[in-house]
Amino acid sequence: MAQKGVLRPGFVQVRVLDMDASIKHYQDHMGLEVVSTGSDGRVYLKAYDEFDHHSIILREADAPGLDIMAFKVSDDEYLDTFTQRLNGMGVETTEIAADKEQQTGRQVRFETPTGHAFSLYAEMALSDNGPMIKNPDIWRKEPRGMRIERFDHCALVGVDIKGAANIFIEALDFSVTERAYIPDNGEPVAIFLTCSNKAHDVAFLGDPEVNGKLHHVSFNLESWNDIGHAADLISRYNISIDIGPTRHGITRGQTIYFFDPSGNRNETFSGGYTFYPDNPVREWTVDQMGKAIFYYEKEIHDRFVQVYT
């Protein structure tokens, strides 16, 4: 487990079609705070319980989807270590200079064989509006909307998920917490990875025909009760729902899935088991995928495995 090395998912950059509609969704309904707007129009947001400057960047574009998922690393030396390890296993890296507007230190970018772009960075300015640290109240200002605590994880769709996962395991010291596989040939159909104590920090979902797609961006809520509150808001504001409230077999997390106005799937997630790196990998056979993904319904609806951005 990486108390040093990769600490956690840090931020995502998501493409949206209409910035005003997206701000209404992410700020007013989900309850994130807009912290700044870039000179190029990109909008930076964070959740109330996050210390760093931002955890999600919205970029207006012609098509929805995910530009980058970025992980925060414990210190600058690890950026060099990880760069060497990535290059050593044949993964190309690109260095992005520190950016004042983004309040972010230098980044190391790489791509997985599934066509997803990742970034590693060690420095980000603290938010002026982060959690209190001296005689701290539980929050600085009462949480709004879905009461999101923090950005939690992404699930990404691609063909060579074994190759993608291997980069995280070999170069970045991630652990596999859980996987689903085809018993006949042992090939994985889903791989869940963590750099921490969480049940997952990133997941790769296999699709024989689709690369580089986003399945969902997930945000953490405090409780099952808050998942219900999110469901109330989804109905009240006619947000397009995918499924839930329900529970995952994989991770055991409680969940509700819905779509932002551009069609990107969001999840609000609560719970999930605590993982330690000596835990055995939990495994699901593909015939049990219904229960693995939706523990109560025990079946997966078509939209969940067909709609990606």
Please identify every residue annotated as catalytic.
153, 200, 216, 248, 257, 267
Q: Please identify, using beta-carbon distances, which residue of 35 and 152 lies nearer to Fe ion.
A: 152
CB of 145 vs Fe ion, minimal distance in Å: 19
Cβ 223 vs Cβ 270: under 8 Å? yes
Query: Nearer Cβ to Fe ion, position 147 or 200?
Result: 200
* CB-based closest residue to Fe ion: 218
Of 42 and 216, nearer to Fe ion (C-beta) is 216
In terms of phi and psi (left: phi > 0; alpha: psi -120 to 50; beta: otherwise), the region of 288 is: alpha
The residues in 221-240 that bind Fe ion, with binding defined as CB under 5 A, are none
Name the DSSP letter for residue 75: S
Task: Report the relative pairing of strands 43-46 and 56-60 from DSSP bridges.
Answer: antiparallel
In the complex with Fe ion, which residue's Cβ is closer, 121 or 304? 304
CA 39/CA 27 separation, integer angstroms: 20
Q: Minimum distance from CB of 169 to Fe ion (Å)?
A: 19
Whole-angstrom distance, CA of residue 232 vs CA of residue 94: 43
Type and span of the H or E element at 70: strand 65-73
Q: Radius of gyration over alpha carbons of the chain, in Å?
A: 18
Which tokens in the block code for residue 257? 């899935």
**Which residue in the set 102, 104, 194, 218 belongs to the binding site for Fe ion (CB under 5 A)?**
218
Measured from the CB atom, is 91 or 226 closer to Fe ion?
226
Position 52 contacts Fe ion (CB under 5 A) = no
Q: Which is nearer to Fe ion, 33 or 178 (CB)?
A: 178
Strand order in the sheet with 175-181: 241-247, 253-259, 265-271, 213-220, 150-158, 202-206, 188-194, 175-181, 282-285
CB 50 to Fe ion: min, Å: 18
Among 161, 202, 267, 271, binds Fe ion (CB under 5 A): 267
* In the complex, least distance from residue 242 CB atom to Fe ion, rounded to whole angstroms: 11
Terminal alpha carbon distance of the chain: 31
Beta strands at 65-73 and 6-16: parallel, antiparallel or unpaired: antiparallel
Shortest Cβ 250–Fe ion spacing (Å)? 9
Count of residues interacting with Fe ion (CB under 5 A): 2
What is the footprint of Fe ion within residues 88-117 (CB under 5 A)?
A: none
Token couple for 230: 């999110």
Shortest Å distance, C-beta 47 to Fe ion: 16
Quick one: tokens of 206? 């296999």
* Binding segment toward Fe ion, per CB under 5 A, in 178-186, 205-213, 225-233, 266-274: 266-274
CA distances from 206 to 110, 140, 189, 190, 301 (A): 20, 41, 5, 6, 16
String of contacts with Fe ion for each residue 152-191, x by CB under 5 A: ----------------------------------------
Which residues make up the interface to Fe ion (CB under 5 A)?
A: 218, 267
